[in-house]
Amino acid sequence: MESIRELMAEKHRRCDDYFVTAERAVASANWDKASAEFEKFREAMSRHFDVEENILFPAFEAHTGVFMGPTQVMRGEHKQLRELMSVAEAALAARDADDYSGTAETLLIMLQQHNMKEENVLYPMCDQHLAEHLDVLLPQLKNELIS
């Protein structure tokens, strides 16, 4: 059986791919492609955050009784990442390569750190604590993450 960690990490990689494609398009001044790919990235990340915040985190919290721990930290980081995505999107709309690149670099670093925490700490905790619910939870997560 697939794990929460495997499923969610694979979705992180798909989001990363959209981000890299947008970065390459900016580097070649292909603004239309950059905007389109960044929009795919933003939509995929937003869906991913929503699934975590509305399905995975509440399941973990309900099962463990821990509400102010790692899930709260991740929600705060999601808020920061959403704000950075908005700034990057504005830079793309303005076709400002320098502004976009600076914001994208910050976004990339924060995403890498965030994903590492989820993949190495939170998701394994979810797999452990929600093991008896994976047969229901995994299909629900997959269905909501379809992109």
Please write the tens of the pLDDT for every residue from 120-139: 999 999 999 999 999 999 99
The CATH number given to whatever domain includes residue 48 is 1.20.120.520
User: Which of 40, 102, 107, 55 has the alpha carbon at shortest distance from 78?
Assistant: 107
Phi, psi (rounded to 5 degrees) for 95:
55, 45
pLDDT of 147 > 60? The answer is no
**pLDDT tops 80 at residue 1:** no
The answer to whether residue 119 scores a pLDDT higher than 80 is yes
pLDDT in tens, 11-43: 999 999 999 999 999 999 999 999 999 999 999
pLDDT tens, residue by residue, 69-98: 899 999 999 999 999 999 999 999 999 999
Query: How many Cβ atoms from other residues are within 10 Å of residue 113's Cβ?
Result: 11
**pLDDT at res. 27:** 95
The whole-number pLDDT of residue 67 equals: 87
Contacts 24+ apart (CB under 8 A), 68-76: 70/117, 70/121, 70/122, 70/125, 71/122, 73/117, 74/114, 74/117, 74/118, 74/122
pLDDT tens digits, one per residue of 54-75: 999 999 999 999 888 899 999 9
Residue 42 is part of which domain span? 4-145
Distance, CA of 24 to CA of 12 (rounded, Å): 19
Number of domains forming the structure of the chain: 1
